[in-house]
Amino acid sequence: MNIMVGKTYTKELNRSVFVLECTTDGKLIAVLQDKTSMLGTPQPGSRVADFLLSSDETAFHRLLTEAQEQAIACWDDFYIETPSGRNNISISAFVADNRVLITGSFREPAEESMEKQVKQAKESLEVFAYTVSHDLREPVRMVKSFMELLLKKYGETLDEKAKSYIGYATDGAGRLDIMIQDLLHYYRCTRDMEIQPADMNEVVKKAEAKLHTVLADRGVRLAYGALPVIAANADGMQTVAEHVIRQLLPALLETPAPVIRVSSSSIQGNRQIEFSCNGAAPDPGQLRDIFNLFYNRAQQGTAGSALNGMAVAKRIIEHLGGSISVMAATEGGMAVLIILPGELL
């Protein structure tokens, strides 16, 4: 049983779907409000429990008793049957002058409400991160430009230490600009991405063509049979495939006949796409950090992008409603498992 007082109860009245006035023994006096006409046309003198509740009548009368004994607004959750169907309703009762004021408000299940709050918070965070990243580029470019102008105009009058300081500042601004571009790419990669039929044969073929040079240089063969058409997004899945293949390449450095295999299977009504290689098994630390946004920063140093492609792959797969994981392959090497909802198209 729950209680509400003061302003909290006033707020409850404002958002109520219906408001009833009844006697202390639960008989209707009047319908004061029925925003959705969900109650039908109850008659004065009828028992509220009869037209409001098809079950939980005992709990409803316990609510009335609690409100009278406490002399305070009390509420509880009920499933009620109305002309519009079965509804999850929060019903409150407040007793005054031997009359009971009963209000009903739609109530979301706690898990759905929490899921909605988490989703809203995530979306707000993404908008904030994207905005900050975008707005940061201008001052960073300005720092880099003025450092270069300073060196160009006054370079002859500066000693080597001053020039090195300017070099550090220019290099730092350049790396920061690259990281900002990485963040912008990360948040843009799922923009306007809709779920559409994706032929995984074409997806893998295009990814192989794009990575032809790096695969040929390392002697890596890409092996796949007939792959399905799935509910995903062809462009997004091609990006995922490219990043996954790149992730598997280091494990094949010492392998005599390096192969990356792509296969598909059905798992409890979902579609699993597996990329596996016959190289070295991953260490536990790699598995733990493999989806971190800037996992490759230390390896990349100051040259080029430090954005982790597997973080991008994870973002795309989750946007499509699926999941992605990395593990040691059954027969040695590494495997990347992608699970997407839905059967074949």
The domain spanning residue 45 has which CATH number? Answer: 3.30.450.20
pLDDT given at position 215: 93
pLDDT given at position 244: 94
Please report, rounded to a whole number, the percentage of residues in the chain having pLDDT higher than 90.
Answer: 26
User: Which range is least confidently modeled, 54-63, 190-199, 223-232?
Assistant: 54-63
Do 171 and 212 lie in one domain? The reply is: no
Tens digit of pLDDT for each residue in 283-341? 776 777 788 887 654 444 444 677 888 999 999 999 998 999 988 877 678 889 999 98
CA dihedral 127, 128, 134, 139 (to 10 degrees): 170
pLDDT given at position 273: 93
**Whether the model pTM is above 0.85:** no
pLDDT given at position 14: 53
Do 150 and 223 lie in one domain? The reply is: no
41 pLDDT tier (thresholds 50, 70, 90): confident
Contact criterion met (CB below 8 Å) for 290 and 206: no
Do 142 and 8 lie in one domain? The reply is: no
The Cα–Cα gap between 175 and 53 comes to 65
6 pLDDT tier (thresholds 50, 70, 90): very low
Do 103 and 116 lie in one domain? The reply is: no
- pLDDT(67) > 70: yes
Q: What is the mean pLDDT of the chain?
A: 81
Do 213 and 258 lie in one domain? The reply is: yes
Do 102 and 120 lie in one domain? The reply is: no
Do 122 and 259 lie in one domain? The reply is: no
Do 120 and 97 lie in one domain? The reply is: no
pLDDT given at position 343: 57
Owning domain of residue 182? 112-188
Which CATH number fits the domain that encloses residue 234? 3.30.565.10
The Cα–Cα gap between 306 and 310 comes to 12
The Cα–Cα gap between 43 and 84 comes to 18
Q: Which amino acid is at 188?
A: R
Residue recorded with tokens 């918070």: 121
Which CATH number fits the domain that encloses residue 178? 1.10.287
Domain final residue, candidates 107, 123, 155 = 107
Contact criterion met (CB below 8 Å) for 196 and 234: yes
Do 224 and 301 lie in one domain? The reply is: yes
The CA angle 222-224-229, to the nearest 5 degrees, is 130
Domain final residue, candidates 159, 188, 217 = 188
- pLDDT(5) > 80: no
- pLDDT(9) > 50: no
Q: How many domains does the chain have?
A: 3
Do 207 and 324 lie in one domain? The reply is: yes
Do 102 and 117 lie in one domain? The reply is: no
pLDDT given at position 56: 66
Do 38 and 11 lie in one domain? The reply is: yes
Domain final residue, candidates 146, 172, 188 = 188
